[in-house]
A and B are shown apart, each in its own frame.
Chain A
């Protein structure tokens, strides 16, 4: 197609334009000047390194200075950085200026050949492969072919099996937390048990399950056990009888781990009684058992049933009746 097409082209290729000489090519004075400019740029780089060394050795690490645009900044880090930046930048500027003004700027033409090899080379290549395969004799010796296939198919099992010990199986882990019937709620931070009277109407508190003496609370525990206590006026609840019985004198407890992707649902708006997750803005209505009213979360936050023990401290009435945190395949969400 290209040959006939070319003839139809409206304009023929005028060819490479005439080379235009730069001032530095024809005027020795201009060239001398360019040379000086390049050396000034390189010298600026050297000064940058000196600034760097000066800052490293003589500017104390805790010196703070005020800069109009950047507010208060650490002078040591700032001048180290500026020195380094200068040292590098001006080497580059010098080299580029040098190339642009003093090195030859004649455009040159190189020729391409098609990537595809010549037909006889391709044929020879194919023949070589066929020949090689024939010499190996795979086609004639099916026993070898099949057993090799078997071996290659299986050899991948070992490295995969080796990865098995990366971690334990989840078992029932994701469905369980450290909350049991009767577990006391303790403040986080502080680990103090709390009474209903410690939380005013409108108040929020983060709690964890109380651990027996000697048991250490790990981040894994916090990632599943964190619970938010919120106290509103009991008549503001809009709950069915069962869920209402899970609250205590206007105090309601939700898992703090977002039912969407597990962030901490940390923002409570007192006026609207909404809980907001800062990760993707899922919003839960506290008065309606944390029903999702906005955002990508598909389930309410699990509610923890609470009551008080005979000493008057808040305790869990029962464990969570569903898994906390983000969904997973084996999660029973009915």
Chain B
């Protein structure tokens, strides 16, 4: 036994004798993880969260979350002698007078963008493959909570430096709070410690940004990962992969090395972006002053769709009995996002209700094999994308020489018309992909090779699929639509009434499929060949 082995053995036995962990550890280290690029998206989210914690902690060593007025003295000449908040001055100090400070600020901001982007893409992968189905609904809900918290956390983050751009964002947030019926102005006065902008705000959102939300997120991420661990990972359909097993690589050493290595790669890429790609150059904007504004004020992209909705809102307010209700703020700022996030959180249960399928699922769907779900996803993405585009309407107008008026009417109409169109098109595409799959299984793959038949006709050679490939294309199950009784013979509507009819329609829509080849068809075909 080498010295090193003795030390390793000694440590393991020290721990085990005090915790009895050996059995659990052995099971843990041989835990199986399926391998697929799309399973790395969640990892990117997790790693950028760690990067955010690390770089953010570095920034707290110098950042001064105070709105006390100071006169700037520092290396950035153009602002010398200018009055500003201590928060803004310290952010300038980090950028210009702390070695590596600007790098860390930029890494922190880039990591936030990557975090949000990876979360959205991870979520899309979970949605389109049906990974949220039973038993993983809880993880989906945790995910929606994380996404919501991420948006808020990011917004508070770029509000901290108290530059002109961030102050403008806060002003808008304040207007949304103030628009809340009955309690709005009270809430605003409590949050800001008086009239906007007051002198308390930065230190308050600082506590929320560095402690409260990250703490909640950390707890949620832990729960999220424990569930992934405990429920075991889903896997894509393929030979040897069933609902009862999970095929992949053991945690120790392969998965550990790959995942650990991947952390450093993500960190490296983020550091590279922080080094070469300028982001949020606060010194250009100047200190916040409610009487001023920079042209082209834009939030970060994950807020951009909300801004786009606000921009598209029609100018409607209700005035009556000495009160004012601002629909132009409430609808895009609170009501629509509220509906979207609620529907999103409940989607797993909505789908269960539509399909009546309450069984566990561990083998993922190929998106085409669930046309209805895929179309719902495409519809939601279209809605978000149109509002995101409208959030940049001023930039688009100047870059492409359009009038803002044109873009806004495009968006107002597009927000209503384009999502249903996307739904229909996506569903069609899925069904024709299913048809293509069916053809492939029955008649083989087109090879592009032409041969001449004796009587002169050219036909393309079709190569039969390998059994593995053919299995992938046929492994999914196709559920029949739910049967929900119509009106009985006396003409009395069925007891479930409207709800039942709705459910029957939904179920029919969600089970619309091109039926896959039946064994009989396969056999007939084989007979035909021989």
Q: Is the CB of A103 within 8 A of B253?
A: yes
- Check if B198 is an interface residue, CB within 8 A of chain A: yes
- Check if B216 is an interface residue, CB within 8 A of chain A: no
Q: Is the CB of A220 within 8 A of B198?
A: yes
Q: Is the CB of B326 within 8 A of A167?
A: no
In the bound complex, residues from chain A placing their C-beta under 8 Å from that of B312 are: 296
In the bound complex, residues from chain B placing their C-beta under 8 Å from that of A326 are: 174-175, 178-179, 326, 329
21 contacts between A and B (CB under 8 A): A10-B519, A11-B522, A15-B240, A76-B99, A84-B271, A85-B274, A85-B275, A89-B265, A105-B254, A110-B31, A112-B232, A167-B193, A169-B189, A257-B290, A260-B329, A263-B168, A263-B293, A295-B408, A298-B315, A326-B175, A332-B323
Within B438-476, the residues touching A (CB, 8 Å) are 441, 467-468, 470-471, 474-475
With both chains docked as a complex, state the minimum distance between the C-beta of A9 and any C-beta of chain B, in angstroms. 7
Q: Decide yes or no: A99 and B253 within 8 Å by CB, A90-B268, A93-B265, A166-B191 being known contacts.
A: yes
Query: Interface 1/0s, chain A 269-290, versus B by CB < 8 A?
Result: 0000000001111100000000
With both chains docked as a complex, state the minimum distance between the C-beta of B254 and any C-beta of chain A, in angstroms. 5
- Check if A334 is an interface residue, CB within 8 A of chain B: yes
- Check if B181 is an interface residue, CB within 8 A of chain A: yes
Size of the A side of the interface (Cβ < 8 Å), in residues, is 99
In the bound complex, residues from chain A placing their C-beta under 8 Å from that of B323 are: 329-332
Q: Is the CB of A109 within 8 A of B245?
A: yes
A332 to B324, CA, bound (A): 7
A88 to B268, CA, bound (A): 5
- Give the number of A-B contacts (CB < 8 Å): 329
With both chains docked as a complex, state the minimum distance between the C-beta of A119 and any C-beta of chain B, in angstroms. 16
Q: Is the CB of B268 within 8 A of A89?
A: yes
Nearest B residue to A52, CB-CB: B100
- Check if B420 is an interface residue, CB within 8 A of chain A: no
Query: Interface 1/0s, chain B 111-155, versus A by CB < 8 A?
Result: 000000000000000000000000100000000000000000000
Q: Decide yes or no: A173 and B247 within 8 Å by CB, A10-B516, A82-B275, A95-B258 being known contacts.
A: no
In the bound complex, residues from chain A placing their C-beta under 8 Å from that of B245 are: 109-112
- Check if B185 is an interface residue, CB within 8 A of chain A: yes
Within B66-96, the residues touching A (CB, 8 Å) are 75
Q: Decide yes or no: A9 and B272 within 8 Å by CB, A264-B293, A326-B179 being known contacts.
A: no
Q: Is the CB of A168 within 8 A of B189?
A: yes
A residues apposed to B, CB below 8 Å? 2, 5, 8-11, 13-17, 56, 61-62, 70, 73-74, 76-78, 80-82, 84-96, 98-100, 103-105, 107-112, 114-115, 163-164, 166-170, 173-174, 188, 206, 208, 219-220, 222-224, 226, 256-257, 260-264, 266-267, 278-282, 292, 294-299, 325-334
Q: Decide yes or no: A329 and B325 within 8 Å by CB, A103-B253, A334-B319 being known contacts.
A: yes
Q: Is the CB of B171 within 8 A of A261?
A: yes
- Check if B195 is an interface residue, CB within 8 A of chain A: yes
Given contacts A220-B196, A296-B313, A327-B329, 19 further A-B contacts (CB under 8 A): A5-B477, A81-B106, A91-B264, A92-B262, A92-B264, A92-B265, A95-B260, A103-B253, A108-B248, A110-B31, A115-B135, A167-B190, A170-B189, A219-B288, A266-B292, A278-B297, A326-B174, A326-B326, A327-B179
